[in-house]
Structure 1
Amino acid sequence: MRESRAHPSVPMADTAVEAHGWLKWLEVVVVTGLFLGSGFWLRPQDPLHVENTFAWPVLAPLLIGLRYGFFPALMSGLLVLLVAGWQYEIAMVSTYPWGWAAGILACSLLAGEFRDYWERQLERSRAVNDYSLQRLEEFTRNFYLMKVSHDRLEQQLAGSSGSLREALRRLYGELSQTQADGLNGERASLMLRVLARYGQLQTAALLPVSGQQVGPEPLATIGDFREVPASDPLIHYALQERTLVSVQTEFRKHLKKLDTELLVVIPLISSGGELVALCAVKSLPFFSFQNRTLRLLAILSGHLADMLCQRDETVDGSHEWQNLCFQARRAARDAEQFDLPSVLLRLQVEEQDLATLQERMTGLLRGLDVIAVDRQAGAPCVVLLMPLTDELGLAGYLHRLELDIRESTGRSLWAFAVKQTLVLRQEEQVSGWLLREDGASD
């Protein structure tokens, strides 16, 4: 029954539109005829009020024009003029009142044009209003979409302490305060707190590794971490692949067969390839269990392993030079594995200019930059490592250094320094460049 009543609605709407059109012209005839008929009834001797002080029949086309516009007003005015012509022909009056007819027609057309003008203005205002409403609706939808996205982003980054650069800066600042060498309980606890801070870990432990064997007892724990057997499939796979593994990635297809309580296992591997520990994670917030957080944890774990192995490296030169070589290898490893940009800058100068250049470069250092003097071969050089910096950042640094030296000494940097740069992409590049095996300058 409802369907049978729904279909006739469209013809009814069309009929209403047609009826409105017919009613308009019917109203034109009726109103005009009413004013003309009243004139014949009230003033038979002068029904069109030609000789009266006011031409009352003009009200008919005037009202029609104000209501329907120019063309209906024109038709109403012509109807009045036709009746006037018929009346004068019957009365056999030779002189037609042309002034009176012109006034009737002028008032009709002016009223119709006035109405059409304001109708166009109204339509324009409606179009602008409809467009504004449409834009407002689009803006409202986009606003609520952005609000939902912002809420999800807040939940996703809740408790986050900052960027990778800030994380590494805090990491080196906190671990440099420990005096003991190697991996012990104090350093393990500090390292696990750093990982928990930036990964939002809730239940985790740091497990020592000797060779390919995991120690029986964790060195540090967070939350209610119970013992995990060394035969756990995630631990076994992390030892085998020597990379971060999780149930979200490598074991997604075999999740039903996976017998583990862990979510993520992060190996701590130094830039020299030494596996020193494993971070086993049992629980973390849902919004932190994503590639961005896991990538950050993998990078931090590599730097943690480097800090444990740094004092065991044998590199000729000062302590600052050894530290720069070690950090350069780690930056190259990060560039190769995680596509993180880093650059090396070498400025070769004469001995009398070395102190000035080192002082000005040290004043422009950022939090992660490492600077050292190399005197091993030929003229002395100041070498600068800029982690997490691309070629554009290097160009900005050189521009600031040039301005600083020019203001302090009145000399141009390139008048006494020879520049060499290296964009880190592979770990094999670093050793040869630091040993000046490639003497090309740019």
Structure 2
Amino acid sequence: MTNGPISGSFQQGLTGSPNPAHPVRDDSTITGTALGKLTSTSVSPLAAAAEILFLPLIAVILGFIFNPGDPLWIQASFPWSWFAPVILALRYGPLAGLGGAGLLLVAWLLANIGHYDTFPKLYFLGGLILVMLVGEFSSLWLARTRRAETVQIYLDQRLEHLTRQYYLLRLSHDRLEQDLISRPMSMRDALLTLRGLGENPDGAHGGDTLLRLLAQYCQLESASLHQVIDGEVQDRPLATIGTTTPLADGDPMIAQALASLALCHISQVQAEQQERTRYLIVAPLINLNGDVYGLLTVEDLPFFSLQDETLQTINLLLGYYTDGLAVHALAASVCEKIPLCPPEFAFETQRLWHLRQTTGIGSIIVALEFLPRAIDADLPMQLMRMKRSLDEHWLCAGAGKMVLATLMPLGDVATAEGFLARLEAWAQQKSEGTLAQLGIFPHILPLHGEPPLTVLKRVQELADG
């Protein structure tokens, strides 16, 4: 794993420190030179006004020093004094250049008082045209420079944002990789492992398997599973994982969990009780009939694992395991009302509906209605052979047609639609037709608010109707 280097790089990216993946542009290397200062326009208005005033004056003073008879170089081979307005126009645009040219005009007027009839029209006209052209060129390139700087700032911000997102993605990837290493199986595999453990409620094998699954999926480091007999929690644990301590008599979290018959964690107890409890999570094992079979106490787990998903997973696995302890009792009420329903299907429906009530994770039943032509082609038996490991089937025969009900644990409407899409592909491959053309019509029955008996009666009504 590369958490250490990644975390360090991520912190450098957040603090703006130099990073090989995120080069920082150093503007000081450009603006620190004389040429950079000359071309930089990020100056205050007072400094710009001072340049507009003093550059033409310096040009005039130099003219009086080097050419006293013609300080503005009007009669010379080249009008050197116009360098000042041209430089101003290049730096700040045509208005600044016109201001410098105006100062040259004022200087000529002051130097030629009483001789205004000899005003050099072509000299000043050519200079003004030159300043306007240079100023227009400067304005165009200043606009382009500002636009390029704006785009560069936006790209720098986007690069910084993408760099941060990249490091977050790498951290998230490493975290997911760690989770996959600790939880190599899917939740369906976990439920398949727990199926059948309820046949031996007093044995330690089921408790060890349950704790092992909880350790894999919820990252429990230290936990114990205690039996509850006649409302009393047994001191001797049925199974343990990690380094545990003897059961704490009078622990406030244990008392709260048994009183509320629900999972309790450290954030739910009051502040003064948090100092008195040694547990982080306490969860009773309660089946659909409300009977308490045991108590799970968790003493240690990683900080980031104490979240809603972990608590929901604990409730799911504990509820599925505990309901298996009363498999025959749970199925009896449904089989009494619907004799044609297999006990295993009835029990799983009851158990998954109970999980929906306690954890909020739903399941779904897909009922396939077969017309006589589909029955004659032996399609119900072919589809039953396509059963997945955790699914349960109920082939209900009616007057002239059959209904194959498939119970999909931990599934939703999207799961059912994916299953039907696979059946459509199977029908297309088998006969180059659709399910409807083969005489198969699907019905989706979610296990949400309605009791399991009501949903199973709808399956029987489809077969009888």
Q: What is the TM-score with the length of structure 1 in the denominator? A: 0.75
TM-superposed deviation, 1:170: 2.8
For residues 63-107 of structure 1, give each alpha carbon's deviation from its aligned partner in whole angstroms, at most 9, with x where no partner exists: 5544554234334445656739986984977xx765554333322
Q: Given residue 209 of structure 1, which amino acid in structure 2 is its aligned partner?
A: V
Give distance in 1, aligned partners of 2:412 and 2:120. Answer: 93
- Residue pairs, 1:84-95, within 5 angstroms: 90=115
1:292 matched to 2:309? The reply is yes
Amino acid corresponding to residue 461 of structure 2 in structure 1? G
State the alpha-carbon separation in 1 of the partners of residues 433 and 154 from structure 2: 62
What do residues 281-301 of structure 1 show as CA deviations (whole Å, max 9, x unaligned)? 333333323332122111101
C-alpha distance 69-341 of structure 1, shift in aligned 2 (>3 A) = same
Q: Which of the residues 322, 328, 331 maps onto 2:343?
A: 322
Aligned residues: 414
RMSD: 4.4
Tell me how far apart the structure 2 counterparts of residues 211 and 390 of structure 1 sit (CA, whole Å): 38
* 2:372 is the counterpart of 1:348: no
Q: Does residue 1:221 correspond to 2:221, yes or no?
A: no
1:120-199 correspondence runs (5 A): 120-135=143-158, 146=168, 150=172, 160-161=182-183, 166-173=186-193, 176=196, 181-199=200-218
Distance 1:143 1:248 in 2: 33
Question: What is the distance in 2 between the residues matched to 1:63 and 1:216?
Answer: 93
Residue aligning to 1:30:
58
Aligned CA distance change for structure 1 residues 361 and 213 (closer, same or farther; 3 Å)? same
- The reply on whether 1:70 has 2:94 as its aligned counterpart is yes
The CA distance in 2 between the partners of 1:405 and 1:91, in whole Å, is: 105
130-139 or 297-306, which deviates more? 130-139
Question: Which of 20, 28, 46 is matched with 1:18 structurally?
Answer: 46
State the percentage of identical aligned residues: 25
Inter-CA distance 299–98: structure 2 relative to 1 (3 Å threshold): same
The superposition leaves residues 227-250 of structure 1 with CA deviations (integer Å, 9 ceiling, x where unpaired) of: 32676554444344332233432x
User: Is the aligned partner of 1:396 residue 2:422?
Assistant: no
Q: Is the 8 A contact 1:371 1:382 kept in 2?
A: yes
Distance 2:252 2:90 in 1: 88
CA distance in 1, matches of 2:103, 2:236: 110
C-alpha distance in 2 between matches for 1:174 and 1:338: 17
Residue 359 of structure 2 is aligned to residue 331 of structure 1 = no
Q: Among residues 250, 260, 270, which one is paired with 1:252 in the alignment?
A: 270
Q: Tell me the amino acid that sits aligned with residue 24 of structure 1.
A: I
> Of 429, 449, 453, which residue of structure 2 is paired with 1:407?
429
Give the whole-Å Cα distance in 1 for the aligned partners of 2:411 and 2:112: 99
Query: Where does structure 1 lack aligned partners over 5 or more consecutive residues?
Result: 1-15
Gaps of 5+ in 2: 1-43
C-alpha contact (below 8 Å) 1:32/1:60 kept by paired residues: no
Aligned: 1:243 with 2:243: no
Query: Match of 1:309?
Result: 326
Confirm or deny: 8 A CA contact 1:358 1:382 kept in the other structure. Answer: no
Report the residue type matching 2:295 in the other structure.
Answer: L
Q: Which residue of 1 aligns with 2:16?
A: none
Q: CA deviation at 1:384?
A: 0.7
1:359 aligns with 2:382: yes
**Aligned partner of residue 439 in structure 1, secondary structure:** helix
